[in-house]
Structure 1
Amino acid sequence: MSKVTKDIEAPLAKVFSYIDENKGKFVETLSQAVAIKSVSADPTLRNEVFKMMEWAKTKLLALGAVVELCDIGSQVLDGKNVPLPPVLLGSLGKNPKKTTVCLYGHLDVQPADKSDGWATEPFVLTERDDKLFGRGSTDDKGPVLGWLHAIEAFQNTGSELPVNLKFVFEGMEESGSIGLDKLLMKQKETFFNDVDFVCISDSYWLGTEKPCLTYGLRGMCCFGIEIEGSSKDLHSGMFGGIVYEAMSDLIYVLSQLVDIKGNILIPGINEGVEPLSEKEKELYNKIKFDVDHYCNEIGAYKPLKETKEELLMSNWRYPSLSIHGIEGAFSGSGFKTVIPRKVIGKFSIRLVPNQDPSRIAQIAKAYINKIWEDRQSPNKLNIITEGDGGNPWMTDPFNAHYLAAHNATEMVYSIEPDYTRGGGSIPVTLTLQEVTGKNVLLLPMGAGDDGAHSQNEKIDVRNYIEGTKLMAAYLHEVSKIK
């Protein structure tokens, strides 16, 4: 990898020094954020998500921002009406001569418990080997705090904040961003009318050494296959061999969705996938990525694809199907010899640009119904879809916005960033592009081995601190765009 040296202008040099000097303080702030159990999927913890949004509001007010917590209504969970956490909309600066950047982040997290296999308490930030372990440390509380620390560094070094800022922070991203799109669309002609660029830091480096800029994401459809076999759970000793079992039916259907090599078995699932162009192929050739090292980092026995290019394309530019779990079946330790009355198998399909979630849902449902018809079971089948699905997103990265981020990356890390697409989904990316009509950039802070959504989620101290400098440098560089 060739090193690049960029001169650091005087205001930024002060900002970078401030960030280094306040490393301990910034880690402590992240510790406070991680301690709030803002799990959006758990209705019993919904009050914690509200607490998290209020906490963020207080932090922004201390920086001088104008902040509003916007009510977006409620949702029905387990037959109960549960209030949705508010969306935080904020503004800092309104100088008409300055560029205005909209920053998006989320403050809710995935569920976590030490019994899941965590080495430490997930909601207690734990530093070990220059890594900060804790739920939300990298997804997405650490990156959100990076923006706030960068602003603080400008303000406390007598350096003028180079741009106007708009903030969109939500508390339901991990649960489908319910209610967010509707709110943002309503604000199109008001809150967003003067936005010049949008930046999101909710993605990751491809590996652990080299930073990147992300210009594409996959969309997603989520499904539940519900099979009901009886009106109550049954004892396998008394009823085994007598009834058609729902679990056996479900395992059969799930086994027909994807093969051993990860190929989706649903006919027509590649509808809309763009052919690979020579120009795109060259981007993959340039990326530094070691397949074996990557598998070792995540503890996988073997990759589905053999080459770097095949593996990256499989994750970025082609749809994939993953089976996530079964609801209604016994999952504790030991044995419980019960035949469950009803089970729900849960899976998702990640979509790529030019694929419509509603169309893919139709294709998947038709295939499952055909599989079920062939099964000839008398049990009841119901196919559940979660929400409207998330649309994929992609932009052209060869523009002034991405160049500004490129220059900022070189300034902080002394290396040119890779240009990557992401295998994950951030549906609000496309929404923000639509409501602003402006270019959206994904500026990752975390590394590829951070374990977002997994046990022992972490962010490296280096990424947290240098990533905060990157955010400051980005604001500085984007302010130069005419």
Structure 2
Amino acid sequence: MSETRHWNLSSVLEPHAISNTPYALVLLNTAISEKHALVFYRVWQQAAIRIVADGAANMLLDFITMHSDKSFEMPDLICGDLDSISEHARSSFEAKTHKTPSCPFPPPTMSDSQAKFVSYIDENQKKLIDGLSEVVAIPSVSGDASYRQDVFKMGEWLKNKLSSLGADVSTHDLGMQDLDGKEVPLPPVVVASIGSDSSKKTVLVYGHYDVQPALKSDGWKTEPFELVHDEKTGCLFGRGSTDDKGPILGWLHVIEAHKELGLDLPVNLKFCFEGMEESGSVGLDDFVVKNKDSLFAGVDAVCISDNYWLGTKKPCVTNGLRGIAYFKLAISGPARDLHSGVFGGMVHEPMTDLIKIMSSLVTPQGEITIPGINEQVAPLTDEERKVYDVMDFDIAFVDEATGSQTTVSDNKPNVLMARMRYPSLSLHGIEGAFAESGSKTVIPRRVVGKFSIRLVPDMDPAKVIECVEKHVESEFAKLKSKNTMKLSPDHPGKPWVADPKHWNYEAAFKATEQIYGVRPDLTREGGSIPITLTFADALQKNVLLLPMGRSDDGAHSTNEKLDLSNYVKGTQLLGTYLYEIAKVAQ
């Protein structure tokens, strides 16, 4: 029986629904999106006759070039308006010869259970949105003592939800914290487990249920703790939507889908959700180390969804993070704030000293000027340099994400390396200085400058701190000031790199190919998640970062969002990743 299908990939040719029967004729007359790249590849390679119409020849060549696939089957016929075909495309196709096809990525194979799961998520998008709306409404800001009860409320919500899904759940007290001059209890760590089948792999999932502060007056277009679904853009706006409540809800919906469908999970799962990530993960390192042989015993691999795509169009898998060394530089002078008209020019001013020292740390081009810092960085190899050349990245992504055109370089590899493989130093703010609107002619008695250095392999936080201490002491001595200076390092974290050839990454690559139809980029994240290294060192297991959101989600910023498509497909990706682990483990 003959079959004709129109090019409507979103509903007809999804990876889990595509027929294995070769097509007699494939006619291409439109662009191929990355979303449907894998599906197109399978259909095209299996077809008996391949025809390209008009300018689609240009698009086909772009597709072949992007995927660097020399085995791609060439069209049998190019027809239509030949004037619309570029000279480059004409010469390229004329020079091509047919070769035996060899798929650049493994063809997708979904079990019945997996296909049912993927379909369930597609059909229950409202449930996903409603769940995210419920948790965004809980203002679980860990850095403000006045919100501490809400952080506890969010932890309790997670505990109850996991219990309702059949997990064994426990909460663990981490003690007290001095916050804003008050002694407040630290939010609990929520630990849960589902499944104990010795024949299955056990995956530990980490996430955090606290969020950054957010006020409408900060510049939000909507109320930050009310999830708003913009149906025109497909964006879900709200604090915590992408960092990190969306990914946490994704995992919960993976469990819920299997429960509703009466399906067994393909692996055993353990969860570790904390409520202090946005405030330095206070107490979590010691907790993980203390419980490595009890709560976290039997873990085979770790998965964290707390980072983002490199850009806005193509998914990625991340195997590296920069570390961090944070500093507070305090300059103290007079016993009280002074009137500049009375004392200006008579005394050494703390603000002047501080600005002078902070300006000696880094150039406007981002070059760190502290002796001994850059010397610690692992040298760049030719092989590594080539990786940045071929990554699917456009500097326009940075312009879009920042709302400006302020990149230090216009060279793609240089911009990528500045984020992934070189250290950076950022000046964050000055405490104690007049910062309100209007004018106030005051000489502050004490000011505290805050800055941090993002660390990369092979940098050691202890050595970095030593270099910074020597530098600021030297610079302060040059001032011959009668003020006093104190440097205070705060919660340093080492850089982390994982082996991308591990089966944990193999599963993530294959899962991404199935859901998004494209081979993901392997990236390193510019930010820091210190607990990643703790899990790797304490458990001695491979750790994977599998992002859900895009680079322009605005985590930590105003108008934080998560695209609905990323939320849905990201949830499908998390579940599919578990199925792929079950396959590679066999």
TM class by shorter-chain length? over 0.9
1:460 aligned to 2:494? no
Task: Give CA deviations for 1:53-91 in whole Å, capped at 9, x if unaligned.
Answer: 111111111111111111111122344322111111111
Query: 1:293: how far off?
Result: 4.0
Tell me the distance in 1 between the aligned counterparts of 2:126 and 2:181.
Answer: 45
Tell me the distance in 2 between the aligned counterparts of 1:245 and 1:227.
Answer: 9
Aligned match for 2:494, one of 391, 395, 399: 391
1:246 maps to what in 2?
Answer: 350
1:348 aligned to 2:469? no
1:54 maps to what in 2?
Answer: 156
Query: 1:422: how far off?
Result: 0.5
Query: 1:300: how far off?
Result: 2.5
2:121 maps to what in 1?
Answer: 19
> Is the deviation greater in 347-356 or in 242-251?
242-251
1:121 aligned to 2:223? yes
Tell me the distance in 2 between the aligned counterparts of 1:381 and 1:167.
Answer: 44
Tell me the distance in 2 between the aligned counterparts of 1:82 and 1:257.
Answer: 35
Aligned match for 1:374, one of 478, 482, 487: 478
Tell me the distance in 2 between the aligned counterparts of 1:247 and 1:156.
Answer: 62
Task: Give CA deviations for 1:252-303 in whole Å, capped at 9, x if unaligned.
Answer: 1111111011001101112431111233223212211111343233212221
1:450 aligned to 2:484? no
Tell me the distance in 2 between the aligned counterparts of 1:296 and 1:81.
Answer: 42
Query: 1:350: how far off?
Result: 0.3
Task: Give CA deviations for 1:348-392 in whole Å, capped at 9, x if unaligned.
Answer: 1000122111211111111011110011111111111113x0111
Aligned match for 1:3, one of 19, 30, 37: 37
Over aligned residue pairs, what C-alpha RMSD do you find? Answer: 1.4
2:535 maps to what in 1?
Answer: 432
Aligned match for 2:419, one of 315, 319, 323: 315
Amino acid at match of 1:441: L
Tell me the distance in 2 between the aligned counterparts of 1:379 and 1:292.
Answer: 46
Tell me the distance in 2 between the aligned counterparts of 1:133 and 1:305.
Answer: 31
Tell me the distance in 1 between the aligned counterparts of 2:440 and 2:128.
Answer: 48
Secondary structure at the counterpart of residue 402 of structure 1: helix
Tell me the distance in 2 between the aligned counterparts of 1:331 and 1:132.
Answer: 33
1:232 aligned to 2:336? yes
2:296 maps to what in 1?
Answer: 192
Aligned match for 1:175, one of 279, 300, 304: 279
**Structure possessing the higher radius of gyration over alpha carbons:** 2
Tell me the distance in 2 between the aligned counterparts of 1:240 and 1:301.
Answer: 39
Query: 1:48: how far off?
Result: 1.3
* Aligned pairs for 1:230-379 within 5 A: 230-379=334-483
Secondary structure at the counterpart of residue 381 of structure 1: strand
Amino acid at match of 1:121: E
Query: 1:342: how far off?
Result: 0.9
Amino acid at match of 1:119: K
Task: Give CA deviations for 1:215-260 in whole Å, capped at 9, x if unaligned.
Answer: 0000001101111121111222332232222111111111111101
Secondary structure at the counterpart of residue 265 of structure 1: coil
Secondary structure at the counterpart of residue 156 of structure 1: helix
Structure 2: gaps of 5 or more residues: 1-33, 40-107
Amino acid at match of 2:472: I
Kindly indicate whether the alpha-carbon contact (under 8 Å) linking 1:192 and 1:435 is maintained by their aligned counterparts in 2: no
Amino acid at match of 1:464: Y
> Is the deviation greater in 250-259 or in 236-245?
236-245
Amino acid at match of 1:281: R
Kindly indicate whether the alpha-carbon contact (under 8 Å) linking 2:311 and 2:397 is maintained by their aligned counterparts in 1: no
Tell me the distance in 2 between the aligned counterparts of 1:201 and 1:453.
Answer: 16
Query: 1:114: how far off?
Result: 1.6
Tell me the distance in 2 between the aligned counterparts of 1:436 and 1:481.
Answer: 21
TM-score by length of 1: 0.97
Kindly indicate whether the alpha-carbon contact (under 8 Å) linking 2:144 and 2:180 is maintained by their aligned counterparts in 1: no
Identity of aligned residues (%): 53
1:421 aligned to 2:524? yes
2:44 maps to what in 1?
Answer: none
Query: 1:21: how far off?
Result: 1.8
Tell me the distance in 1 between the aligned counterparts of 2:423 and 2:398.
Answer: 21
Amino acid at match of 1:469: Q
1:92 maps to what in 2?
Answer: 194
> Is the deviation greater in 146-155 or in 116-125?
116-125
Tell me the distance in 2 between the aligned counterparts of 1:296 and 1:471.
Answer: 27
Tell me the distance in 1 between the aligned counterparts of 2:225 and 2:522.
Answer: 33
Task: Give CA deviations for 1:156-190 in whole Å, capped at 9, x if unaligned.
Answer: 11221111101010011111111101111111111
Tell me the distance in 1 between the aligned counterparts of 2:178 and 2:463.
Answer: 26
2:310 maps to what in 1?
Answer: 206
Amino acid at match of 1:453: H
How many residues are treated as equivalent by the alignment? 481
Tell me the distance in 2 between the aligned counterparts of 1:53 and 1:341.
Answer: 41
Task: Give CA deviations for 1:390-440 in whole Å, capped at 9, x if unaligned.
Answer: 111001202221111111101111111011000000011111112221111
> Is the deviation greater in 364-373 or in 292-301?
292-301
Kindly indicate whether the alpha-carbon contact (under 8 Å) linking 1:70 and 1:88 is maintained by their aligned counterparts in 2: yes
Tell me the distance in 2 between the aligned counterparts of 1:429 and 1:293.
Answer: 26
Kindly indicate whether the alpha-carbon contact (under 8 Å) linking 2:312 and 2:397 is maintained by their aligned counterparts in 1: no
2:175 maps to what in 1?
Answer: 73
Kindly indicate whether the alpha-carbon contact (under 8 Å) linking 2:323 and 2:455 is maintained by their aligned counterparts in 1: yes
Amino acid at match of 2:135: A
Query: 1:3: how far off?
Result: 1.4
Amino acid at match of 1:328: G
1:146 aligned to 2:250? yes
Tell me the distance in 1 between the aligned counterparts of 2:447 and 2:161.
Answer: 44
Amino acid at match of 1:416: R
